[in-house]
Structure 1
Amino acid sequence: MRINSEAHLKSPVRPSMDPRPHRLRRAHVGLLLAVALVAGCASRPAPKLPIEQLEAVGWHITERPCETPLRVERQRQPNAHDPKVMDEVIETHCPGWVATVYEARTTQPPKLLPVGVRMTGPHPALPAGLQVGASEAEVLKRLGPPTLRDPAALAYRLGPDRPDSDQLRFIVRQGKVTAIEWAWYID
């Protein structure tokens, strides 16, 4: 018995069996999916920046404010828990920012606790849209709506389980960020 292997090629093709329209439909569907995907990506806003990343920038600035400070101010003050111990508040003034730390001397070695940073100029550790000079709209786009009420600033709590005093504030004047402040509660 001999099988004609070319017989299926010579048989007439019915219109419903023609593979070309099916391929064409697949191509159209693929093209539509690609366009929808690109359109979805283009219209999707940039993901919100976690506030914890910005808190880490503030902490880093308090740990290493700058190579050559303009000045360093030290103020002694009694420890709140042990008045016999004199702690120190240290303000390091750098071009464009001031970092403040509290030196608790009840432990040895003394413990440095960040109190705050006030930034009035750009800093290389901050993203471009979150620098002094950025627009209010850019901050809102990157961080979302403020989490704290503050008529003078866009204020964000530094964590959901943190006191309101642990915050990051973008001071805004006429639609532009004029200063950025980190603040941490010290007990």
Structure 2
Amino acid sequence: MLTDDFQTALDADGLIVPGVGAYAACMEGLRAVKGDRIIGRRLAGGRPVLGICVGMQILFARGVEHGVETEGCDEWPGTVSRLEAPVVPHMGWNTVSVPDGSALFAGVEDDRFYFVHSYAARSWDLVTNDRTSAPLVTWAEHGGDRFVAAVENGPLSATQFHPEKSGDAGARLLHNWIQSL
């Protein structure tokens, strides 16, 4: 179901946050429908959220595009910035480096996924302690530039790539996420 209704999105079994275009425009649209509050409330209640592409990027604290810094949802620390690879955008199929124990990538750990982006989180700054479990961070590389390709963090998961454009591997990943609902 596609909705911009606050209560419907809050009550859904799972929430997918897609994103197309620029970080600032995505955040503006999300805030216009109180999407940032929906995400925060869902996560506070342990309700699953999946961010895809820019929908993943806006989960970080901030994004910088064309010299403009925009505050994100701040679910994870860090800044989304332009890739430093020789060829940008990163467009096409790529492998990912999946950590042990990933439920999201079960059965597709060695597959390729479809990426279309010029910006990404290029570092992971979240420090864990005895009270918090470490998120599972999946990495990818484009033109020698390493970036976060996916994160599994309790009820919050996200992919920089497009699972819906990634053939059987993407379908399996989405199936895995749906099974977690």
Give TM-score, length-normalised by structure 1. Answer: 0.25
Higher relative contact order structure (alpha carbons within 8 Å, sequence separation ≥ 6): 2
Give TM-score, length-normalised by structure 2. Answer: 0.25
Structure (1/2) with the larger helix percentage: 1
